[in-house]
Amino acid sequence: MALLEVKDLEVYYGVIRALKGISFHVDRGEIVSLIGANGAGKTTTMQSVIGLIPKKSGTVTFDGTDITRTPCHKIVRLGMTQVPEGRRIFQELSVYENLLMGAYTVQDNARFKRDLEAIFTRFPRLAERRNQIAGTLSGGEQQMLAMGRAIMCRPKLLMLDEPSMGLSPLLVDQVFEIIQDINRDGTTVLLVEQNAGKSLAISHRTYVMENGSIVLSGTGAELAASEKVQKAYLGG
Amino acid sequence: MEQIFSTLVNGLSLGGIYAMIALGYTMVYGIAKLLNFAHGDIIMVGGYLIYVGMATQMPLAAVLLAVVGCVVLGICIEKVAYRPLRGASPLAVLITAIGVSYFMQSMAQIIFGSAPKMVTVYDFGAVELFGATIQVSSLVTLAVATVVMTVLTLFVKYTRTGRAMIAVSEDNGAAQLMGIDVNRIITITFAIGSALAALAGLFYLLKAPAVSSTLGAMPGIKAFTAAVIGGIGSIPGAMLGGILLGMIESVSYKITAIAPYTDAIEFSILILILLVRPTGFLGKKRREKV
């Protein structure tokens, strides 16, 4: 059974039909990516799945539970979280306090300390800047913090919305490596990206979105070979 | 010298009251993004609850009744009047807030009549300090306000719920992604703000022992002014703005020539500060979403 199962999901912004009944699934242990042009509905998909924006119709099932009408904070407690577009770290809080917020649902203090150490090992820059106000971090460091903050709650499913946005090529590579690393540690990943080449390379499967619909799907290799994807997203 | 000292004590204690009320405005604005213009009337309800509670002859019981009553009232107002409007236009919420304010004032008139009720909570008397006669109630007000503001600052900075309040005020959506129940945080914010307003009601009664249905109107507006001067949404800003406004008022009252114009002076200063610093002293420019 899939970890995340989305069926006929429709989302409206006022009278505008932003998602036209999309269906997809993410299996345990996978990295699945959603690619597509700006305005295709990728971010809308992510935000409606996790309950930040309301769904018009369709069903979302996570880990065997129907979460179609569940509010966001309860979905997070079920084991799904998201690194939102633009990172949205808490600018006024320190690096440490941001990680503390990431562990908001964690009651076990010993576990919190272990996870914190693990994150500081994974992101040494964050350890160095532990007490710095997060708003003063560079873009790359903020992305590391946003990812660290998200995995503090040990999600079963981690969603990342445009994690490579605004980063230098070197940092983009690093971010994609970290995503694979997190996935190897047992976290299922749903990734939204405009960087189609990189996403196809690290994903087990990929869905292509256009105008609020899913128009193609397949493994990275299948899609990379597809003429349509070549033309539209890989500049081929 | 003694003039300066008594003006200082009066200004600080008045400022402490304004700061406590301003905290209610600023926290609710920061977290729920709404201007709760009914906040001032909570002070009035607190005053009446003390009046009712004084039937027991026990000041502490009366204060407890006022604090608990105002907390329950504040939570109910949010649930009944504001929660259904989550996501509605700010104008609709503002008009609702004004409606709630008039509703409470009218209810108070219906229940207690339009004549002010005299209520002596406790006579602390006066002491001589540095040659000046100081009302002990002013010192008590100052002390309680200092303790309350210190505890609140520590609460926001060092507790899980307090940090969740900062997170919600900075980015509601990101806070939800942390698993924070935003509705619960808003309820807590209204509860804290209302408790502070109830204490402000007590301090007003210690200054002038009469409660009427409009008791909260002027302090409410002035504390709102203080919150804006300090930077609405900022907790230290509300404290700073409150103390500043209290000091200005206290000094202005002491100077006979300008004493009658005190209110005008205070609001003129608000306008001046907003012209120079539209976000107030400690307010931040909101990060615009792109």
Range A132-145 average pLDDT: 95
Q: What is the ipTM of this complex?
A: 0.94
Range A6-18 average pLDDT: 95
How far, in Å, are A118, A135, A147 from residue A123 at the CA level?
Answer: 9, 17, 10
B287 has pLDDT over 70: no
B231 has pLDDT over 90: yes
Q: Which residues of B touch A92 (CB under 8 A)?
A: 166, 170
A88 contacts B164? CB cut-off 8 A: no
A37 has pLDDT over 80: yes
CA of B160: which chain A residue's CA is closest? A104
Report which of A18, A71, A61, A50 is spatially closest to residue A213, judged by C-alpha positions: A18
B166 contacts A93? CB cut-off 8 A: yes
Question: What's the CA gap between B171 and B149, in Å, rounded?
Answer: 24
Query: Given B166, B170, B177, which is nearest A84 (Cβ)?
Result: B177
3-state secondary structure of A56: coil
The more confidently predicted of residues B289 and B71 is B71
Minimum distance, in Å, between the CA of residue B284 and any CA atom of chain A: 11
Q: Which residues of A touch B180 (CB under 8 A)?
A: 73, 101, 104
Report the pLDDT value the prediction gives residue B285, as an integer from 0 to 100: 64
pLDDT digits (tens, 9 = 90+) for B95-128: 999 999 999 999 999 999 999 999 988 888 888 8
Q: Which residues of B touch A88 (CB under 8 A)?
A: 171, 173-174
pLDDT band at residue B274, thresholds of 50, 70 and 90? confident
B160 contacts A84? CB cut-off 8 A: no
User: Average pLDDT over chain B, rounded to whole?
Assistant: 93
A100 contacts B174? CB cut-off 8 A: no
Query: Given B160, B171, B179, which is nearest A90 (Cβ)?
Result: B171
CA of B183: which chain A residue's CA is closest? A73
DSSP type of residue B83 = G
CATH placement of domain B2-276: 1.10.3470
Domain map (residue ranges) of chain B: 2-276
The more confidently predicted of residues B279 and A233 is B279
pLDDT digits (tens, 9 = 90+) for B20-65: 999 999 999 999 999 999 999 999 999 999 999 999 999 999 999 9
Report the pLDDT value the prediction gives residue B289, as an integer from 0 to 100: 38
B163 contacts A93? CB cut-off 8 A: yes
Query: Given A73, A89, A150, which is nearest B176 (Cβ)?
Result: A73
B173 contacts A52? CB cut-off 8 A: yes
Report the pLDDT value the prediction gives residue B248, as an integer from 0 to 100: 94
Query: Given A77, A86, A89, which is nearest B179 (Cβ)?
Result: A77
A92 contacts B179? CB cut-off 8 A: no
Minimum distance, in Å, between the CA of residue A72 and any CA atom of chain B: 6
Report the pLDDT value the prediction gives residue B20, as an integer from 0 to 100: 96
Range A178-184 average pLDDT: 96
Query: Given B170, B181, B182, which is nearest A90 (Cβ)?
Result: B170
Range A212-224 average pLDDT: 90
B288 has pLDDT over 60: no
A90 has pLDDT over 60: yes
B163 contacts A84? CB cut-off 8 A: no
Q: What does the block give as tokens for B9?
A: 């004590």
A73 contacts B181? CB cut-off 8 A: yes
Question: What's the CA gap between B22 and B26, in Å, rounded?
Answer: 6
Percent of chain B with pLDDT over 70: 98
| Residue pairs spanning A and B at CB distance below 8 A | 64
Bridge partners (DSSP) of residue B211 are B117
B87 has pLDDT over 90: no
Residues 6 or more apart whose CB falls under 8 angstroms from that of B39 comprise B21, B24, B25, B28, B193, B197, B220, B223, B224
Mutate to test the interface with A, among B158, B176, B177 (most CBs of A within 10 A): B177
CA of A91: which chain B residue's CA is closest? B170
Q: What does the block give as tokens for B54?
A: 């004084």
Report the pLDDT value the prediction gives residue B286, as an integer from 0 to 100: 56
Domain map (residue ranges) of chain A: 4-87+154-233
Bridge partners (DSSP) of residue A19 are A11
Range A183-199 average pLDDT: 94
Minimum distance, in Å, between the CA of residue A210 and any CA atom of chain B: 22
Report the pLDDT value the prediction gives residue B270, as an integer from 0 to 100: 86
Q: Which residues of B touch A77 (CB under 8 A)?
A: 179
pLDDT band at residue A235, thresholds of 50, 70 and 90? low
Domain A4-87+154-233 classified CATH 1.25.40.10?
no
B290 has pLDDT over 70: no
Q: What does the block give as tokens for B134?
A: 């100081």
**pTM of the full structure:** 0.92
Rg (alpha carbons) of chain A, rounded to whole number: 17
A231 has pLDDT over 80: no
pLDDT digits (tens, 9 = 90+) for B158-175: 999 999 999 999 999 999
Mutate to test the interface with B, among A70, A76, A85, A90 (most CBs of B within 10 A): A90
B171 contacts A104? CB cut-off 8 A: no
Query: How does B166-179 read in b/e, with b if 16+ C-beta sit within 10 Å?
Result: bbbbbbbbbbbbbb
A101 contacts B164? CB cut-off 8 A: yes
